[in-house]
Amino acid sequence: MNQVKKVYTPTLIEALILTILIIGMISVSIIRFSAAPHIPILLSIFLLIIFGFIKKVPFKILEDGMVKGAQSGLAAIFLFFLIGLLIATWMISGTIPTLVYSGFQIATVHFFYAIVFVVTAIVGIAIGSSLTTSATLGVAFIGIASALDASLAITAGAVVSGAFFGDKMSPLSDTANLASTIMKVDLFEHIRNMAWTTVPAFIISFIVYALLSPSVTNANLNKLESFQDGLRATHLVHWYSLLPVIILAIFAYKKVSAFITLAFNSLFAMILSFFHFHTTGKELFQIILNGYVSSTGNKAIDSLLTRGGLNSMMFTVSLVILALSMGGLTFTLGIIPVLLRSIDKALNKVGTVIMTAAFTAIGVNIFIGEQYLSIILPGETFQPSFARLGLANKNLGRVVEDAGTVVNPLVPWSVCGVFLTNVLGVNTLHYLPFAFFCLLSPILTILFGFTGKTLTYNKVNKMSA
């Protein structure tokens, strides 16, 4: 985005008014009218174009700014298509069903909250969707918690923590792919770098959940057994279905590019599927385009497994194009540069700039309630500040995931917060104190920012904290 040339320099008042109007428009549209973020972003683009006309900026220049902004997301779009392809092929190869089944195998009533956290984390990584994990496996665990007379608030907190750990660290996750592309960082390098804050947060959360777990010796686990029976009925659960995961891990360790890794893995999974998933060429191409459709008759299983395909990524692709086009306009009209210059003196230390970026991501979640925008807006805004301090872009990628992706479910009026309250039947403010992983992630990213630990600097222009 920084390659977009500024053609106008607004006053600080003009930049603030436009920013407030855009944030207000997006907030009201999403919170009050439950609109998809695409609509208010498109309206914000119209607002910026009108402002450009008032300042006598030719439309051709404004259009070039939008195009250059959108072009910066082309790498993400290609990856998103491959993610849709990978999810579909991992379904028919049995990889995702087998991973989910394996997660259920370790479920036990002992250390109940800790097991809920771990199993939802495994399933979250397997399918790359926190909301689907919560709406299926999470609902089952809430039912078991009721049978155990365990705390529904702590159970919901463990479900949310595990599901968003998976969402954050899965190569199938929209948010992980979005953040890595906005920061121009390889997907697997981005995931590895997040481990510095994510692994400590996971370990601490696991210990706390284990300590809080009730002491019980038996319980009604019929719901989990029903899930397992439903998965076996798909005939997709096989030991060899885990081979794509092993290959993915090897490619990631060897630092093979995400594009090649996902493409090769998809082809391998497709070949693997012929051992048990007998389909015609026409049906296979339909699955690749529209995703796998589960028809077991078990609503929870069908909801969990019906996913993938190129079309499933269109929502995210269109959002990325619109958001980056809006970002291109804000740089063309000088809005972001003016705002950054106004706080430039305060952003002269590594710890300060990381904390400011983290609070901005949290603020977007609070005021707008949209998870993707909590990644895109701070990611685009703070790249120049990070570069000036010699910080590598992957540091910013970690910050926006730690303070953006996993904070959204903690906001009662956010997209994730509203959804989770409805499906789990537990108020957001009730599970918030027990969503330990989501609470620890932004704290650790700010702490490491001030200590300088785990940060990566560019080879040129390295500055100390």
Cα–Cα distance measured from residue 54 to residue 57, given in angstroms and rounded to the nearest whole number? 8
pLDDT tens, residue order, the chain (465 aa): 555 666 788 898 998 999 899 888 888 887 788 787 889 889 999 999 999 999 999 999 999 999 988 887 777 678 778 878 888 898 899 888 887 787 677 666 678 899 899 989 988 888 787 877 887 678 777 867 765 678 899 999 999 999 999 889 988 888 888 898 888 888 889 999 999 999 999 999 999 999 998 765 555 566 667 777 888 888 898 989 989 888 877 887 777 777 888 889 899 999 999 898 877 788 899 999 999 998 888 777 887 788 788 998 888 788 778 877 888 898 889 887 787 777 766 677 889 999 999 998 998 888 777 788 889 888 888 888 898 889 999 999 999 999 999 999 998 877 788 778 877 888 888 999 999 999 999 999 999 999 988 898 887 554 444
Residue with tokens 């704290």: 443
Contact between 161 and 117 (Cβ < 8 Å): yes
Cα–Cα distance measured from residue 266 to residue 27, given in angstroms and rounded to the nearest whole number? 38
